[in-house]
Amino acid sequence: MRFTKTFSKFSYTLAILHGFFIGAVSIGIFAILIQWQDISTAEKTGSKEEAPEKAEEITVDAPVDAGNPTQFFAKQHGVFTTADGATTLLQSSPAMKSAAIIIANNQYFVWSAASVVESEMKIQGTTESFVKPFKINSSACTEKAMKNLPVFLANSDPAKFNFEGTGNKDAIPKDWVANNAAIATLSEDKNVIRVQLLSHYSTQNDCLKIEF
């Protein structure tokens, strides 16, 4: 009976250590996995859309923003013609763990932050980067949440950015709360969260266009 008790305690200890190890590894590879998932989805969607366009898709009557799109600034570390090249850069340094891949003009940009304030994107640390101005055009989006995404991302008020207390759940982009919570495990920096959200929603919604 003693042998059974000793073995049982030892087994429990191994189980706890095993669970801790799996959790640590999962957090470490989260950023890369979410990037691959979004990019793979975007590439599959693009393959399907290579077929001849339907007439109604060409004549979509989406409301157009009367004003000019908001000017954003990104901290850019590289641009590649393939997803593999961008992913390799993400894996090259611990400093890149919270960077995101942005797809625009059939290229893969590696950005680590985004803001409406240019000075916040100035080079810091030893990782080479430069400021990349860009705009988000959502005029082709018919879904209210996606059409307003540039407004949400440009807002500097944490309460509004996270939809806390707004009471307007219909305007929240799909999985917004869950995505914010997941990204917060990488960084609590709003500029990092902003670029991660941009990466996710722009690859999932073709109506969102990154313009330079």
At 110-131, the pLDDT tens digits run 999 999 999 898 765 555 788 9
- In angstroms, the CA 100 to CA 155 distance is 20
pLDDT for position 57: 35
Least confident of 99-103, 176-180, 201-205: 176-180
Domain that holds residue 149: 36-211
163: in domain: yes
15: in domain: no
5: in domain: no
Total domains, the chain: 1
Of the segments 15-29, 56-70, 144-158, which one has the largest average pLDDT value?
144-158
Taking the CA atoms of the chain, what radius of gyration do you get in angstroms? 21
14: in domain: no
pLDDT for position 35: 60
19: in domain: no
At 159-177, the pLDDT tens digits run 677 776 666 666 788 888 8
Report CA dihedral (59, 211, 71, 123) to the nearest 10 degrees: 160
10: in domain: no
29: in domain: no
pLDDT for position 21: 47
190: in domain: yes
